[in-house]
Amino acid sequence: AQSVTQLGSHVSVSEGALVLLRCNYSSSVPPYLFWYVQYPNQGLQLLLKYTSAATLVKGINGFEAEFKKSETSFHLTKPSAHMSDAAEYFCALLRSNDYKLSFGAGTTVTVRA
Amino acid sequence: NAGVTQTPKFQVLKTGQSMTLQCAQDMNHNSMYWYRQDPGMGLRLIYYSASEGTTDKGEVPNGYNVSRLNKREFSLRLESAAPSQTSVYFCASSEFKNEQFFGPGTRLTVL
C-alpha cells in the first residue's frame, strides 16, 4: 500500500536553528509527495510538492525538501527557524491507484526563543 | 478569490441531532473532498467527489452522507450525531493529480 510515515510527533528547535522534519514513503511507483503546514486554528496550506522533476524542491517561507529514492525519504528542512514556523506539518502522498492523498500523522514544531 | 470556504466555523450538537456542513470553492476544481482531523491521526478522508454528480466513500464514511450540489458546492451531513464524530472537519478541492486546497475547518463537538 502507498503511504507515508512521519518520524517524530513533536520537534522543538531554538530560533535560528535548523528545522528538520522527517518523512518516509512507501510506494512501488514514483510518487507525488507534498508537505503541508497547519497554523493553529487554520486549514492546511501547501508548502511544497514533488512531482518527479527536480529532486530538491523549494517551497514557501524558506522551506525545502529533498526526494531520495534510495532512502525512500522526503525530509523537510529550513536552515534557520523563526518563531512564526511554530505549527503542525503534514507529509502526504498521492496514491497512484485512486489519486487520493495519504497523510502522515503530523509533526508539531515548537520554536524556542 | 476566496478559495475554499466552509460554514459554520464552530458547532455544538447533542447526541442524535443532525446537521449539514457546507463547503464551496471558487477555483473551478472538479474534485472535492471531506476530511476529519483527530489528534495524532492526521487527516482521514470521509467522502470524495471526482466531479459534479459523483461521490465516493473514503476511509471513514460511516455516519455521514454527502451531496455534490453543483461544481462549486459539496456538503457533508450528519444524520444522527454521535460523540465519536467530535472532530475538526476540513473540505478541500483540487484538479486531477494536483495539490489540494483546504478550507479553514469546522470544529464540531457532539455532547
CA distance B98 to chain A (A): 9
Which residues 6+ apart lie within 8 Å of A49 measured at CB? A32, A33, A34, A35, A57, B99
Task: Flag residues of chain B having pLDDT under 50.
Answer: none
Using the beta-carbon criterion (under 8 Å), do A103 and B58 form an inter-chain contact?
Answer: no
Q: What is the pLDDT of residue A64?
A: 97
Question: Which of the 8 DSSP states describes residue B85?
Answer: G
For chain A, residues with pLDDT lower than 70 are none
Chain A residues in contact with B99 (beta carbon < 8 A)? 34, 46, 49
Count contacts between A and B (CB, < 8 Å): 43
How do residues B11-38 score in pLDDT, each as one tens digit? 999 999 999 999 999 999 999 999 999 9
